[in-house]
Amino acid sequence: MLFLGIDIGSAVSKCVITDETEAIRGKGLSPGGAGTGGPQAAVAMALADAGAAAGDIAATVATGYGRNLAAAADSTMSELSCHAAGAVKLYPGVRTVIDIGGQDAKVLSITPAGKLDSFIMNDKCAAGTGRFLEEMSRVLAVPIDEMADVAGRAAHELQISSTCVVFAETEVISRMAEGAAVGDVLAGIFAAIAARVGALAKRKGVVPEVVMTGGVAKNEGMRRALERELGTPIHVDPLAQYAGALGAALFASQSGL
Amino acid sequence: MSEKIPAKQRLRDVVDSVYRAAWEAKERGEPVGWSSSKFPAEIPETLGLAVTYPENQAAGIAAKHGGQRLCEYAEGLGYSNDICGYARISLAYAAGAEADERPMPQPDFVLCCNNICNCMIKWYEAIARMHNIPLIMIDVPYNNTVDVPEARVAYVRAQFEDAIAQLEELTGRTWSNERFKEVCANANRSASAWLKACGYCSVKPSPLNGFDLFNHMADIVTARCKPETAEAFEQLAAEYEEGVAKGESTWHYDENYRIMFEGIPCWPELQALFKPLKDSGANTVAVVYAPAFGFQYTDVDDMARAYCRAPNSVCIEAGTAWRADLCKENQVDGILVHYNRSCKPWSGYMLEMERRWHDQLGVPVVGFDGDQADPRNFSEAQYQTRVQGLAELMAANKAAGGQGK
Ligand code: SF4
């Protein structure tokens, strides 16, 4: 029996298919979030990856901002519960999950028994989220996946004091106009996001082991900056971006359908 | 035989009559006042003065979706959008913006008491200056101790006397101790009936939804010294009692969970606030904002003491205990905190209170960003995610056999 978890984010849709032993059988990821063809494409990829057909899926749970738009889902769960469940599966022993998605950042406290205890999310502002990085990537003309390498070559970290996306853009442009090196600016951007997300994490209390999930977790520069900010190692699983979808698939298998 | 008028309707009529009386007074050429919600209403009532309440007006305008229009009007006058939404709405109206949602006559004097917050002082000063009218101020210092020290009681009481003298001079009316006693008796009767009605939230399942109390607050704010208010609240309490007996509730959904809603509701977004609560069967059975208006006292010193105890003027220990007791009495499973962009004094100490509740009560506490009057500060999708997360935490707690400590 197979179970499908769909995580429809603001920019990317992710899917995971698990079986009754909770093993991952397939996964799919497609650009395009709620209201686009992204979710269907991700489902098709996951099914192909699992060598399964739609009819093989016994239950589906949707999560993410677009969860209520997933017509095929039997039920929805918030991304808070799903990221917690996914992170615990990927990294048993995790006590703090930091998830940075396209438009929000959240910190989850996990009990020693692997259950979600409490959570905190960013306020309405997009600072400290994936959207902030995307904007900076555009302004500096450095593709997201190259950002960490460029920042890694920084001679020193420039201070970016604005956390507002719009203000930070102005600040970055003026730094560049002053002749700052792109790497130094990027290192400053990572530090600025880390400071903001770090403050959220400290408010909640950072208990190791700390795991990062969500799309931004793939960004090595971001992980290093957060480690420095929190003074603790942060684990990132290769499937970090799928944590929410994995959690949703696990909830689907527990729903007893 | 005529049908009995439901308490809800009677309460609405009482508030309408307050505004009507203000218009009639204006037509007769009598002075009309604007008062902050926790100014001792006993004083203008004893003098027979018509008074209306800008905070209540602002809430009414916001609930009817006029909040953004008036906030933007005030911003156009140069008021920062960081200022409380009630203040912006009120300043816009005072400056001449139309508000068919809840019109009221322009003021001839303003009554301000900063027991609710200090933003109030500048707001009322601005109105007084705009209209060139007197501002009668009662200063209630922030209570950094749990008990109200005697020196503070004397300080506040002396200001009551000063306010009375100023109003007598301004309006030519004469103070009557006899009438004051009657008014205080009415106010205490209203408060007692109001607290009794609020107390029915502790019944499980609750015969009411706490959001009802937010709606009925208009009466305790604008008309607490009137006998008809006391009667309507007594009827409301009786109706809740009847609900308990019949197993009926004004919450027409499952009561899977019982929550405390902390803060002022987002008036422009009541539907959106309500929806995920309804969907998950989370009934609001504790709100500190409503019973906070139930001022009860035995004499004038005690009245001064009562007016020193407003949600934003008590220390964090008193504020935390106030809500924690309510959560215990009303057996809540979780707490939903509104980080209200308008109300800085209220939201400011929530971070620490959240932490204390989580430790003391062992129930999940979840916050969301919003605004009581300015819809630009609320995101429905973000709110839904947080409420769903709260419901999932409460479900997991229940499955594990707990309801907190
Ligand atoms: S909402 Fe808060 S800031 Fe605004 S008047 Fe009331 S107490 Fe003051």
Q: How far is Cα A116 from Cα B393, in angstroms, rounded to an integer?
A: 7
Model confidence over B314-354: pLDDT tens digits? 899 999 999 999 999 999 999 999 999 999 888 888 989 99
Determine the Cα–Cα distance for residues A91 and B126; give it in Å rounded to an integer.
58
Residue pLDDT, tens place only, B56-110: 999 999 999 999 999 999 999 999 999 999 999 999 999 999 999 999 999 999 9
Q: What distance in Å separates the CA atoms of residue B261 and residue B365, rounded to the nearest whole number?
A: 10
Give the CATH number for residue B140: 3.40.50.11890
Pairing of β B282-286 and β B334-340: unpaired
- B261 found inside a domain: no
Answering whether pTM is above 0.80, one says yes
Contact B386 A121 (CB under 8 A): yes
Q: Which residue of B has its CA nearest to A83?
A: B389
Token code pair at residue A179: 């002749």
Does the residue B226 lie in any domain? no
Task: For A183-196, write each residue's pLDDT tens digit.
Answer: 998 898 888 889 88
B342 Cα: distance to centroid of ligand 1 (angstroms): 7
Range of the structural domain that residue B51 is part of:
7-178
Q: How many domains does chain B have?
A: 1
State yes or no: cis peptide before A209, omega within 30 of 0.
yes
Calpha distance B208→B248 (Å, rounded): 9
Q: Is the pLDDT of residue B1 over 60?
A: no
Find where tokens 């009692």 sit.
Answer: B241
**Angle B1-B5-B11 (CA atoms, 0-180°, nearest 5)?**
160
What domains does chain A contain, in order, with CATH numbers?
A: 1-91+242-257 (3.30.420.40), 93-236 (3.30.420.40)
Q: Flag whether B117 is in a domain.
A: yes
Are A78 and B392 inside 8 Å of each other by CB?
yes
Answer yes or no: do A118 and B385 touch at CB < 8 A.
Answer: no
pLDDT in tens, B250-308: 999 999 999 999 999 999 999 999 999 999 999 999 998 888 888 899 999 999 999 99
Query: Domain for residue B67, yes or no?
Result: yes
Which residues in A lie closer than 8 A to residue B385 (C-beta atoms)? 65, 78-80, 121
CA distance B304 to chain A (A): 38
B400 occurs within a structural domain: no
Q: What is the mean pLDDT of chain A?
A: 89
B94: in domain: yes
